[in-house]
Structure 1
Amino acid sequence: MDLIDDDAPDDGAAGNNAHAFTVSELSGALKRSIEDQFGRVRVRAEVGRVSRPGSGHLYFDLKDDRAVLAAVTWKGQAARLIQTPEEGMEVIATGRLTTFPGQSKYQMIVDQIEPAGQGALMAMLEKRRRALAAEGLFDQDRKRALPFLPRVIGVVTSPSGAVIRDILHRLRERFPTRVLIWPVAVQGKDCAPQVAAAIRGFNALGDDGPVPRPDLIIVARGGGSLEDLWGFNEEIVVRAAADSAIPLISAVGHETDTTLIDFASDRRAPTPTAAAEIAVPVRAELAARMAEAGARMARANAHGLQRPRQRLRDLARAMGRPSALTEGPRQRLDLWGARLDPALRQSLHRRRDRLAARPMPAATLRQFTAAKRHGLDRAATRLDVARSRRLERPRDRLTQLQERLDSSLKRVEAVARSATRQQRARLVELDGRLGAGLRRALSQRGDALTRLDRMRQSLGPDETLRRGFVIVRTPDGRVVTAPEAAQQSPRLELQFAGDRRIPVRPEGAPDKPKRRKPAAPEQKTLI
């Protein structure tokens, strides 16, 4: 530590030996001192101003009635916080103290936040409940009626707990139906986003998709502490339940547990088992009710038929015999029938006598005939018009059918022409591909043949001879491959490159009588 003389002047005289720090040195020394002294601290305070910039970091204040401490949670740590800080919440923050030299202030790097007791959680829960209720998310007119007999039930819960087994067991006992399970975490920081995603996922399913859309959703979890059930109090879960177009039953915790999803759901069940009982009726009771309703309907039908039948019998007795009602009119009819034939004959005789006494003039007869002929002509004209009209309708119908047939033929021809063009184009394409494939195959076969020919040449005797080797043959052309065979042959023949051959005689070969040859010029042969 530097010693400072109190009697030395303060104006930087030569006698002042105090060390002059730079700003960075002083800031660094303060930073190290604070971080060494307060490496890991827990602070109980009320959350003040909360800021969430686009960078993902979380800035907020921790305060009490006399001081304010700036706090920051970095982006990676903010995503792992169990409890997100909200203004007015009383929390216990855990982290380390450090300084921010850019603004000459100290701050706390927070990596863990927990509510400061159940009272703070309840206060925050009540505040959130009032805010969501003010938006109308808990209104009764928003709640939908549950289906009487759902075909598919979607269950949002943990697949490994006892809750799903209780629900399936109760559904199997009451009324077996199809169940879709959406596995989620039912506590912890992943609970709220997964439950909200499951509710929205069930609502996003289509009616005609490979996975059937549920007619009813059950959000279920077993009992636990307030902290364990806190995920179902999150705003994202409440809004997802309120926005669900599918009726929703909340069955979170035991009968005494209450979460905010219970207010937003269409029906609250005290337990998950009770949710299964609410979802479907008892099949045996339903069958009994149906049988009872069928019996009552049969009795009502029988009673409804019996009363009109009895009323008809009573009316029939009051009316008397039917024959008594028709005897008088039948007698009168017979009387008038007997008098009708003589009256007609008498009328005919009178008219015949009147016509004989006053014969009809010829003019009247011609006029009558002309009138009848005119009426006949009009009837014939009307008949011709009716016949032409009757023929016009089939003709128009035939014309329409002809037009439809022509248009159909044109469409068929167009389709056939288009198909022909497509097939022709396909044929041209296949012909091109076939030609290209044939040329490629020929090229590959040619290349393979060339490689084989090169291999044949490289491995053949000619190339071997060109590299300085020779082939030893007997006079009759057989190739000699062993020294014993060479010694047994009196003469040998060496074949060089270019099919040049030289006769030789091996050492130790047996002598044969020489044939006398005609004299020839003397030649020297190098062996």
Structure 2
Amino acid sequence: MADPFLDDAATGRLVAEAAPGSNAPDMSVSELSARLKRTVEGAFGHVRIRGEISGWKRAASGHCYLALKDDAAVIDGIIWRGAASALPFQPADGVEVIATGKLTTYPGRSKYQIVIERMELAGEGALMALLEKLKAKLGGEGLFDASAKKALPFLPRVIGVVTSPTGAVIRDILHRLEDRCPTHVLVWPVKVQGPGSADEVAAAVRGFDAIQPGGPVPRPDLVIVARGGGSIEDLWSFNEEVVVRAVAGCSIPIISAVGHETDTSLCDHAADLRAPTPTAAAEIAVPVKADLIHTLKTYGLRTERCARRYHERGGERLAALVRVLPRRDAILGPQRQKLDDLAGRLGLSLERRLGAARRELDRSAGALRPSILDARLARARDRASDLGRLLESVNPEKPLERGYAWVAARPAGEVVGTAEAARAAGAMTLHFRDGTVDVRLERGAPKAHVAATPAPTQPDLF
């Protein structure tokens, strides 16, 4: 039977027609894509694929896109946001994994892909490869540098512990702290393994670091991140990038005590100090109280001995100085002798001075005869009497008793001695023996005739 499609091409028809006897009906692209999708999902509804991650990318929506490849083929994959948040590790390019999910098609691009529901590392080798890759990446950023490590406080008043609240770890830490040096402990409960545990640990570290000093919750002086032992898968949360960055960026000193002595995590490298066990972390965090008390007592005894030795040596030096100092009598003897000498000389000097004063008094006493004093007193009295009479003669009030008056200008009170001065003054006061009279000269009055009288002769006072 001839192929109907070849017949159509051979005839060069412009309009397609169903060939007689053909069982292939026409389908739209959407119909074909839908049939392919049902076929693929029906045949591959549950698959496990082993491959190496390539092109890992997390979109802003939370969905993750990647490709799984081996030596000969590549298949695209997608992880929806809900499944991506439950991944037990942080995927990275080059890591070999086993992905579980279902195959489906993407009609928009005519391709098939796997919708991953669960993804696991393909053995411990892949896990270690992922660990080394992440370690190299974070180490290259300086998160593990020794120069960035902070010194631990000698005696922290508050210790923050990030661990599970129900495990033996927190009990061991609390008991060890109680035995060594009781301290205020703040516990931030977290999951220490399983999905979401890494985010909880990182949030706890950042939460302790965000506590402000002086607030209602005391800010820790030291933080311990602790977990008991387990397999590398059990401890994987402490290798997650989010935990490492939170520990490295914390401003509070951190002790990492994850697993047992042989276990090592990236959290140990990022912390300021690694403890082999949680119990050892408690021992490192605080000193032994009894040792502190013993040390203080020792320092007290040493201080007392030093003080006593200093006092004894001071006494010895003082005794040595006293031996070389001169005696008191040797120092004060010359001064005492000089004082006695001056005291003797003072008595003689006083006697000589008193004798000279007596002689001077005797010489002066001869000139103090009563007759001489009486004569000098009589002469002084006569002189005083003459001065009294002279004073009485020049008293300006005395002539008023004989009918005279004296004139003063008003209001200044100056004495008017001439007719010209009287005309210039105009207003005057006449002073008599028994009182005063105010007078005023009228303007335009004829000049008064004043007879010239000789001025009285002033008596000679001396």
TM > 0.5 fold call: yes
For residues 6-85 of structure 1, what are the structure 2 equivalents within 5 Å? 9-11=7-9, 14-15=19-20, 17=22, 18-85=24-91
Alignment correspondent of 2:200? 194
What is the alpha-carbon distance in structure 1 between the residues aligned to residue 353 and residue 55 of structure 2?
Answer: 123
Distance in structure 2 (CA, Å) of the matches to 1:270 and 1:195: 19
**2:226 paired residue number:** 220
Q: CA deviation at 1:203?
A: 1.7
Alignment counterpart, residue 328 of structure 2, candidates 315, 319, 322: 322
Note the alpha carbon deviations across 1:61-102, whole angstroms, 9 max, x for none. 111222211101112221222223212221111110010111
1:87 and 2:85 are equivalent in the alignment: no
CA distance in 1, matches of 2:270, 2:354: 99
1:376 match: none
Q: 2: CA distance between counterparts of 1:20 and 1:317? A: 134
Partners of 2:257 and 2:336 lie apart in 1 by 84
Q: Does residue 273 of structure 2 align to residue 275 of structure 1?
A: no
Amino acid aligned to 1:91: V
Q: Which residue of 1 aligns with 2:191?
A: 185
1:461-500 → structure 2 map (5 Å cutoff): none
Q: Distance in 1 between matches of 2:184 and 2:2?
A: 86
Structure 2 Cα separation of the partners of residues 325 and 52 of structure 1: 102
Match of 1:173 in 2: 179
Contact 2:238 2:266 in 1 (8 A): yes
Residue type of the alignment partner of 2:37: K
Query: Hey, what's the Cα distance between the residues in 2 that align with 1:73 and 1:312?
Result: 91
Q: 1:10–1:347: structure 2 CA closer, same or farther, 3 Å change rule?
A: farther
Contact 1:199-1:240 within 8 A present in 2 as well: yes
The AA in structure 2 aligned to 1:89 is V
Letter in 2 for 1:155: V
Is residue 128 of structure 2 the alignment partner of residue 122 of structure 1?
Answer: yes
Match of 2:7, as an amino acid? P
For the 8 Å contact 1:8–1:15, the answer to whether it is kept is no
The change in CA–CA distance for 1:191 and 1:347 in structure 2 (over 3 A counts) is farther
Structure 1 residue 227: deviation in Å? 1.1
**Greater RCO structure (CA 8 Å; 6+ sep):** 2
Aligned ranges 1:20-419 → 2 under 5 Å: 20-340=26-346, 342=348
Deviations 1:433-490 (A, max 9, x none): xxxxxxxxxxxxxxxxxxxxxxxxxxxxxxxxxxxxxxxxxxxxxxxxxxxxxxxxxx
Query: Separation in 1 of the partners of 2:121 and 2:284?
Result: 35
> In 1, distance between residues paired with 2:349 and 2:229?
108
Partners of 2:146 and 2:228 lie apart in 1 by: 26
Deviation, 1:250, is 0.7
Distance 1:41 1:316, change over 3 A: same
> 1:19, 1:352 → 2: CA distance?
173
Residues 281-328 of structure 1, C-alpha deviation per residue, up to 9 Å, x if partnerless?
A: 111121111111111111111011101111111221122433322222
* Alignment partners' CA distance in 2, 1:350 and 1:65: 145
Per-residue deviation, residues 172-224 of structure 1 (Å, max 9, x unmatched): 11111111111000011221111111111112222222221111111110011
Q: Which amino acid aligns with 1:187?
A: Q
Q: Give me the whole-angstrom Cα distance separating, in 2, the residues matched to 1:139 and 1:217.
A: 19
The separation in 2 between residues aligned to 1:126 and 1:106, in whole angstroms, is 33
Q: Distance in 1 between matches of 2:354 and 2:124?
A: 122
Using a 3 Å threshold, how does the CA distance of structure 1 residues 282 and 4 change in structure 2: closer, same or farther?
farther
Matched to 1:64, the amino acid is D
As a proportion of its length, which structure holds more helix? 1
Secondary structure class of the residue paired with 1:9? helix
8 A Cα contact 1:221 1:252, kept in partner:
yes
Residues 85 and 196, structure 2, Cα contact 8 Å, conserved in 1:
no
CA distance in 2, matches of 1:341, 1:125: 114
- Identical residues among aligned pairs (%): 55
Alignment check: 8 A CA contact 1:43 1:93 kept:
yes
Shift of 1:59: 1.0
Q: Distance in 2 between the 1:97 and 1:4 partners? A: 38
Q: Normalising by structure 2, what TM-score? A: 0.71
Confirm or deny: 8 A CA contact 1:84 1:113 kept in the other structure.
no
What RMSD, in angstroms, separates the aligned Cα atoms of the two structures? 2.7
Cα distance in 1 for partners of 2:218, 2:311 equals: 46
Q: CA deviation at 1:16?
A: 6.9
- Partners of 1:51 and 1:7 in 2: CA distance: 45
Secondary structure, counterpart of 2:7 in structure 1: coil
Distance in 1 of aligned mates of 2:349 and 2:99: 127
Tell whether the 8 Å contact from 1:199 to 1:244 is kept in structure 2 after alignment.
yes
Distance 1:352 1:97 in 2: 150
SS at match of 2:152: coil
Cα distance 1:105–1:295, how it changes in 2: closer, same or farther (>3 A)?
Answer: same
Distance 2:157 2:191 in 1: 26
Contact 2:86–2:196 (8 Å) recurs in 1: no
Query: 1:353 deviation in Å?
Result: 11
2:82 partner letter: G
